[in-house]
Amino acid sequence: MKEMYPKNGRVILHVDMNSFYASVEMAYDPTLKGKPLAIAGNVEERRGIIVTCSYEARKFGVKTTMPLWEAKKLCPQLIVKSPNFDRYRSASMGMFEILRQFTEQVEPVSIDEGYVDISECHEFGSPIEIAKSIQKRIMATLDLPCSIGIAPNKFLAKMASDMKKPMGITILRKRDVPIVLWPLNTNEMHGIGKKTAEKLTTIGINTIGELARGNEIQLKALLGINGTRIKERANGIDNRLVDPESVTDFKSIGNSTTLPKDATNQQELFRVLESLAETVSVRLKRKNVLASTIGITIRFKDRKTITRSKKLANPINHKDDITMVAKQLLLKNWNGDAVRLLGITGYDLVEHDLAYKQLDLFSYEKDAKKEPLLKTLSTLREKYGENIIENAGTHKGDPDHNVGTETSFNKDFLRSFMNSNKEE
């Protein structure tokens, strides 16, 4: 299969769940399938806004961000449900776990989409075969549709996944860019919002092709560094790597393992969770972050896979704390059948310095005793800088001890790039 992959380049997939919230509701309640369905906030109020809707609803003109009253006017038979974020998060965890069955090179970019670098996945077949396999597994396991773009970089993969929905698979090569992308208007390009497209028209740029041939000095004067970036994208150039630990709005650090043999012994499963918790704890500490949600993945002998999570009152990154939550989740959700794979993932990560602890009746007394020490540390940091004293374990045996700065840099860069995709 190696001949199906480029010798020097990359093969990137962009997996995009179709009408995610609505699709999850349909998977949960099959009687909703084939009906116009919308998820909206403030369902009981006319001022509610459509969060997402099914493709059946879209046929009537219902759109995301549309006021609920307007949507019901267009489609009187519209079924409207309130968001169930726990349900969506659980489905998302299951989706990303399926992606990680092929490679650890998975970068979540939101709850319902992510990039996968399959450049070294020859044993699973050709890129198109892998995409088909992912699509089938997500549908068979979670009953959820997705579209997948296959390309040599992240930008082209994202553009490709948008071309066929629902349940599409699209290949977009760099040589296809002049034919496929250049005739499109700039507002159809990922990374360009309505306001940016309007600015481009002031210098005579209306299509992606015109942007690709645009004057770089003029673009930089109009849009700053983003002008250079979007011109590169218009030419199919994007050197960003798939980063499994990228700091994004949807953040997670996890680890899973396939057991040497299917196990039904509770203590054996506990030992596996303890080992996984230690690995996750080390990775969280290296990134100088804590997890606000802990999730586990259980795959049974028959390959049925479930994911369950628990939102925590206080963010954690210590092995014992992670182990305790993971064991609770296992005991609550394991039916006694033989287990083939276990996984633990920390979600909703917060940087250590930004983490807060919610005091309760049980922790108040202990925290109160620490207050004089915390005040002293605060005074020292104010006088000598934030890094004058750090928690034990931040540098422990870790050559990459500067990860706190790295995390902040990654977050600042991502925030800047994400903002470039939004309307000013």
Q: What is the 3-state secondary structure (H, E, C) of 322-373?
A: HHHHHHHHHHHHCCCCCEEEEEEEEEEEEEHHHCCCCCCCCCHHHHHHHHHH
Q: Looking at residue 85, what is its pLDDT?
A: 83
Domain with CATH 3.40.1170.60 in the chain: 21-85
Q: Give CATH 3.30.1490.100 domain extents, the chain.
A: 247-358+390-424
- Picking from 411, 396, 400, the residue whose alpha carbon sits closest to that of residue 354 is 411
Residues with catalytic function: 113
State the span(s) of the chain assigned CATH 1.10.150.20. Answer: 182-234
Q: Which two tokens stand for residue 390?
A: 């750090």
Which amino acid would we find at residue 291?
A: A
CATH superfamily of 182-234: 5' to 3' exonuclease, C-terminal subdomain (1.10.150.20)
Q: What is the pLDDT of residue 368?
A: 45
The Cα angle at residue 95 between residues 310 and 300, in degrees rounded to 5: 75
Chain centre distance of CA 280 = 18
Task: Look at residue 89 in the predicted model and tell me its pLDDT.
Answer: 85
Q: Of 410, 276, 419, which is closest to residue 341 (Cα–Cα)?
A: 276
Task: Give dist(CA 288, CA 286) in Å, integer.
Answer: 5
Count of CB atoms within 10 A of residue 314's CB? 14
Looking at residue 361, what is its pLDDT?
Answer: 40
pLDDT given at position 376: 57
- Cβ-Cβ contacts under 8 Å for 144 (sequence gap 6 or more): 17, 18, 20, 23, 24, 27, 91, 95, 138
**pLDDT score, position 3:** 74
pLDDT in tens, 234-255: 999 999 999 887 644 446 788 8
The 10s digit of each residue's pLDDT in 145-198 is 999 999 999 999 999 999 999 999 999 999 999 999 999 999 999 989 888 999
Distance of alpha carbon 244 from alpha carbon 114, whole angstroms: 10
3-state secondary structure of 420: helix
* CA-angle at 404, arms to 398 and 409, nearest 5°: 130
CATH number of the 247-358+390-424 domain? 3.30.1490.100
16 is in an annotated binding site: yes
Whether a cis peptide bond, with omega within 30° of 0, leads into 166 is yes
Cβ atoms of 26 and 54 closer than 8 Å:
yes
Q: To the nearest 10°, the Cα dihedral for 246, 348, 50, 144?
A: 70
**18: β partners:** none
Which ranges of 187-265 does DSSP label H, i.e. alpha helix? 194-201, 208-212, 216-223, 225-234
pLDDT score for 33: 96
Quick one: tokens of 7? Answer: 């010798």
β-strand partners of 351:
289
Q: CB–CB of 344/327 below 8 Å?
A: no
Helix, strand, coil fractions of the chain, as percent rounded to 5: 45, 20, 35
User: Measured between alpha carbons, how far is residue 169 from residues 14, 51, 255, 264 in Å?
Assistant: 10, 25, 28, 39
pLDDT at 34: 95
Kindly state the helix (H) or strand (E) to which residue 403 belongs, with its residue range: helix 403-420
User: Is 337 annotated as ligand-binding?
Assistant: no
Low-confidence ranges of the chain (pLDDT < 50): 247-250, 356-371, 374, 386-424
What is 21-85's CATH topology? MutS, DNA mismatch repair protein, domain I (3.40.1170)
